[in-house]
């Protein structure tokens, strides 16, 4: 059964064939750490985490390399750090830590490599890459930086290379030029040319100034991904992923740089996930209708709101290629669904024992068909075998209670639970309800069963 993926570059659902099955290579554009991450970032990370898990299942965990970068040098970081009176590096480090906490809560596996633009070897690679483009006359200097000449894609690409600039985003060169007119600079050879390197401005802090043969400055945005991909995955690799808003200019420009340097595209399959809507409107940071991941997990007082597995489940209910709508009700419904799995899971432990679970064929078939996670979830709902259900949930990274270490009760919580059991046995309902409320306030939900037993889980 082949894995099928929709390739943005060809606009087709294609059978995936790795260049080298002993090292399947995936690159995903990561975050710019100038603020906490929002649920749009959660979607990108969860979608490619599923792809990563599936590739590991198909080829073996040690045969898949996954790179996700941090754009830790950027105007947004510099400006935000200046507002906060911090050094840009300090701000980026804090936000990277916050991102990692979010990813852990959402059950995302750490990628093989998480390079940063500020890593000395990445910066050295960026400078070499640009020097090479300048030697080929594909890059040139203006008064504020070094630019890529996009017309060189046609002259530098190898004869059998089908790529043309604008192919990925579906834009025509004329449109691109018209779109760029607002910022027309006389010094640019063509309005569509973009910055590979920005010369330092006097007000910028020392931590974002880098020496280069062509002048002190810092990289433009697109160049870093071309360099990190090449350094960690080679000049040509299998899959490049990201949110669909990155198709243009980011990914198109990555392709242009790589074709100018190597004569060929750097990634064969381009996968893009759709955006998030909030209460029906496209989520956008500039419109202010965005939701931080941490705010879906905890309320303003810091008390648990929705669990990481519930947020993950909500994201997986929609195919990655379609917009997912965020609302409190949608999260609540996903949370209820995840709770259903957790209780099923607890009751299953006794029923199934140690029997080795298997992944049902329809479950894998759904995922192999362009990561149809909503269909895979419906297979989970239909299964009668609890150990299988648990195995499928684990495959999707939806941790059930039994797997979550942090769910162990503290001594104090255990005492409360024991006292409540005693109160119930004594039919002291007022006391029993009071303890239930107390535990609920601590994020521990109880369920009383007809046989007199009580199970608990963390919200």
Positions in the binding site for Zn ion (CB under 5 A)? 29, 225
Query: For residues 133 and 127, what is the distance between their CA atoms, to the nearest angstrom?
Result: 10
- Closer residue to Zn ion, CB minimum distance, 119 or 295: 119
The CB-of-225 to Zn ion minimum distance in angstroms stands at 3
**Residue 205: partners with Cβ closer than 8 Å, 6 or more residues away:** 78, 81, 87, 88
- Closer residue to Zn ion, CB minimum distance, 225 or 376: 225
Q: From 228, 185, 205, 269, select the one nearest 68 (Cα to Cα).
A: 228
Query: For residues 76 and 73, what is the distance between their CA atoms, to the nearest angstrom?
Result: 8
Number of alpha helices (DSSP H) and beta strands (DSSP E) in the chain: 16, 15
In this structure, are residues 67 and 266 in contact, taking their beta carbons and an 8 Å threshold?
Answer: no
**Residue 195: partners with Cβ closer than 8 Å, 6 or more residues away:** 144, 145, 146, 147, 220
Burial of 288 (0-12, 13-18, 19+ CB in 10 A): exposed
The CB-of-250 to Zn ion minimum distance in angstroms stands at 5
The CB-of-229 to Zn ion minimum distance in angstroms stands at 8
| Residue given tokens 């990655």 in the structure block | 320
The CB-of-162 to Zn ion minimum distance in angstroms stands at 22
Structure tokens at 392: 């499928």
- Closer residue to Zn ion, CB minimum distance, 251 or 312: 251
In this structure, are residues 370 and 4 in contact, taking their beta carbons and an 8 Å threshold?
Answer: yes
The dihedral region occupied by 11, where left means phi > 0, alpha psi between -120 and 50, and beta the remainder, is: left
The CB-of-59 to Zn ion minimum distance in angstroms stands at 24
- Closer residue to Zn ion, CB minimum distance, 29 or 391: 29
The CB-of-71 to Zn ion minimum distance in angstroms stands at 7
| Residue given tokens 């255990």 in the structure block | 414
Structure tokens at 252: 């198109």
DSSP 169: T
- Closer residue to Zn ion, CB minimum distance, 253 or 373: 253
The CB-of-275 to Zn ion minimum distance in angstroms stands at 17
- Closer residue to Zn ion, CB minimum distance, 167 or 226: 226
The CB-of-371 to Zn ion minimum distance in angstroms stands at 20
Q: From 357, 276, 370, select the one nearest 37 (Cα to Cα).
A: 276
Query: For residues 345 and 322, what is the distance between their CA atoms, to the nearest angstrom?
Result: 30
The dihedral region occupied by 392, where left means phi > 0, alpha psi between -120 and 50, and beta the remainder, is: alpha
| Element containing residue 300 per DSSP (H, E) | none
The CB-of-219 to Zn ion minimum distance in angstroms stands at 12
- Closer residue to Zn ion, CB minimum distance, 245 or 413: 245
- Closer residue to Zn ion, CB minimum distance, 252 or 399: 252
The CB-of-390 to Zn ion minimum distance in angstroms stands at 36
- Closer residue to Zn ion, CB minimum distance, 123 or 225: 225
The CB-of-356 to Zn ion minimum distance in angstroms stands at 40
- Closer residue to Zn ion, CB minimum distance, 123 or 313: 123
- Closer residue to Zn ion, CB minimum distance, 29 or 195: 29
Distances from the Cα of 174 to the Cα of 151, 171, 179, angstroms: 12, 8, 9
Which letter, b or e, does each residue of 207-243 get, where b requires 16 or more Cβ atoms within 10 Å of its Cβ? Answer: bbebebebeebbbbbbbbbbbbbbbbbeebbbbbbbb
């Amino acid at each position: 059964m082949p894995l099928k993926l929709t390739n943005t570059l060809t606009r087709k659902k294609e059978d995936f064939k790795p260049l080298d099955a002993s090292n399947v290579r995936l690159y995903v554009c990561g975050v710019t750490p100038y603020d906490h991450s929002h649920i749009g970032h959660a979607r990108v990370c969860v979608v490619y985490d599923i792809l990563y898990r599936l590739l590991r299942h198909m080829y073996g965990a040690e045969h898949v390399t996954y790179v996700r970068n941090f754009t830790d040098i950027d105007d947004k970081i510099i400006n935000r750090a200046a507002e906060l009176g911090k050094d840009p590096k300090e701000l980026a480090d804090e936000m990277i830590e916050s991102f990692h906490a979010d990813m852990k809560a959402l059950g995302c596996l750490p990628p093989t490599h998480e390079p940063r633009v500020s890593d000395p070897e990445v910066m050295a690679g960026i400078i070499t890459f640009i020097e090479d483009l300048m030697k080929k006359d594909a890059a040139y200097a203006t008064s504020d930086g070094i630019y890529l000449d996009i017309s060189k894609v046609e002259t530098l690409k190898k004869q059998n290379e089908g790529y043309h600039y604008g192919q990925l985003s579906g834009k025509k060169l004329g449109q691109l030029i018209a779109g760029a007119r607002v910022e027309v600079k006389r010094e640019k050879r063509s309005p569509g040319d973009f910055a590979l390197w920005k010369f330092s401005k006097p007000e910028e802090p020392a931590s974002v100034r880098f020496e280069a043969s062509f002048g002190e400055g810092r990289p433009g945005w697109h160049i870093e991904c071309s360099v990190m991909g090449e350094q960690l995955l080679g000049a040509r690799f299998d899959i490049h992923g990201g949110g669909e808003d990155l198709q243009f200019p980011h990914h198109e420009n990555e392709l242009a740089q790589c074709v100018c340097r190597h004569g060929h595209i750097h990634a064969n399959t381009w996968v893009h996930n759709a955006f998030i809507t909030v209460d029906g409107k496209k989520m956008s940071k500039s419109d202010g209708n965005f939701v931080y991941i941490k705010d879906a997990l905890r309320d303003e007082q810091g008390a648990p709101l929705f669990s990481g597995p519930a947020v993950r489940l909500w994201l997986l209910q929609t195919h990655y290629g379609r917009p997912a709508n965020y609302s409190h009700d949608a999260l609540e419904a996903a949370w209820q669904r995840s709770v259903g799995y957790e209780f099923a899971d607890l009751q299953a432990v006794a029923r199934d024992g140690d029997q080795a679970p298997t992944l049902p064929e329809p479950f894998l078939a759904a995922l192999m068909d362009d990561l149809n996670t909503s269909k895979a979830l419906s297979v989970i709902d239909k299964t009668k075998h609890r150990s299988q259900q648990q195995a499928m949930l684990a495959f999707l990274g939806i941790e059930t209670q039994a797997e979550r270490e942090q769910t162990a009760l503290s001594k104090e919580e255990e005492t409360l639970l024991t006292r409540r059991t005693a109160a119930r046995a004594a039919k002291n309902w007022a006391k029993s309800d009071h303890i239930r409320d107390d535990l609920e306030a601590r994020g521990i939900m109880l369920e009383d069963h007809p046989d007199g037993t009580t199970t608990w889980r963390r919200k």
